[in-house]
Amino acid sequence: MGKAITYKRTRRAENDVTRYGASSMQGCRDEMEATWKSHVHLLDCEPTLFFGVYDGHGGAEVASYCSRKFHEELKKDPSYVLNLPGALKNVYSSIDEKLQESDEWRRDLAYSPGNKNLIRWLWTDVCGANWLPKEGSTACVAVIRGNRIYVANVGDSRCVLSRNGQAIDLSMDHKPNYRHERKRIEKAGGLVRMDDIPKKVMADMKLGIHRIEGILHISRSIGDFQFKQDPTLSRQDQMVTCCPDICDGCHDKSAGG
């Protein structure tokens, strides 16, 4: 464990009908891997609010890319105006596809001012692209248009609505041991197992973290391409999928169970 970090990022903004605040703080890790993005006016003809939380693992690069590109890709999608849930699904797939097609985004981030990972990227130039680390990110996005909330999610970053003091989950965590997720993982040839550490036995109940191939603790993400390499499977059927669950106006319309 590293030293406790107190770096905190906070923002407040509002429009005619909505006021919001957002904050993030780095914990004991050496690098901040989570980020968020907010836009109060995403569409001029009908005010639309956008909020996104991206929690990286294996590095902050994928989360940073998502925070810069997701809302831009959403605005450009042909379904954005008339079919927002469809547009959200399209963007998850397109972001994942663009990350997989080229490493240029990695280099753009690596050579940005103040990047702590510059040395490892210089080393990558010498050793070749196969040395690149395997990273990914959750992506939990909430879009408010009129009086409806649309939430799309992959991973375990959670969206919760507070109504009259009651907490209402608007997204579902994607964990490898959940029945629908395990079924897809095993069908794709993957194995779900619990960490040896920490593992405890308490009241005949095993406690620990379930991981895909003993590595990844979530079953859906953007990135993590080492789990998306089977050319015979669609993007939706890979061990780890980028296909989100969608909550449309607080009525769950699952994209994959």
pLDDT (tens digit, 9 = 90+) per residue, 199-216? Answer: 555 555 566 789 999 999
Q: Has residue 78 got a pLDDT over 90?
A: yes
C-alpha 18/C-alpha 108 separation (Å) is 35
47 within domain boundaries? yes
220 within domain boundaries? no
If pLDDT is split at 50, 70 and 90, which confidence band does 34 have?
Answer: very low
| Structure tokens, 119 | 């040395």
Q: Has residue 115 got a pLDDT over 70?
A: no
Question: How high is the pLDDT of residue 101?
Answer: 85
| Structure tokens, 210 | 């379930």
Contact call for residues 8 and 25 (beta carbons, < 8 A): yes
118 within domain boundaries? yes
Helices and strands (H and E) in the chain: how many: 5, 16
227 within domain boundaries? no
Would you give the DSSP letter of residue 167?
E
Distance of CA 109 to the CA centre of its chain: 18
C-alpha 166/C-alpha 152 separation (Å) is 21
99 within domain boundaries? yes
If pLDDT is split at 50, 70 and 90, which confidence band does 107 have?
Answer: low
Question: How high is the pLDDT of residue 24?
Answer: 64
Question: How high is the pLDDT of residue 205?
Answer: 59
226 within domain boundaries? no
Question: How high is the pLDDT of residue 180?
Answer: 94
- Per-residue pLDDT, averaged over 138-157, amounts to 92
Task: Please give the residue range of the domain that contains residue 59.
Answer: 8-172+242-253
2 within domain boundaries? no
Would you give the DSSP letter of residue 68?
H
DSSP states along 89-157:
HHHHHHHHHHHHH-SHHHHHHHTSTT-TTHHHHHHHHHH-GGG----EE-EEEEEEETTEEEEEEESS-
- Report the chain's mean pLDDT, rounded to a whole number: 78
Question: How high is the pLDDT of residue 223?
Answer: 94
Which one has a higher pLDDT value, 203 or 243?
A: 243
Write the CATH number for 32.
Answer: 3.60.40.10
The tally of domains found in the chain comes to 1
If pLDDT is split at 50, 70 and 90, which confidence band does 147 have?
Answer: confident
> What does the radius of gyration of the chain's CA atoms come to, in whole angstroms?
19
- Per-residue pLDDT, averaged over 69-97, amounts to 93
178 within domain boundaries? no
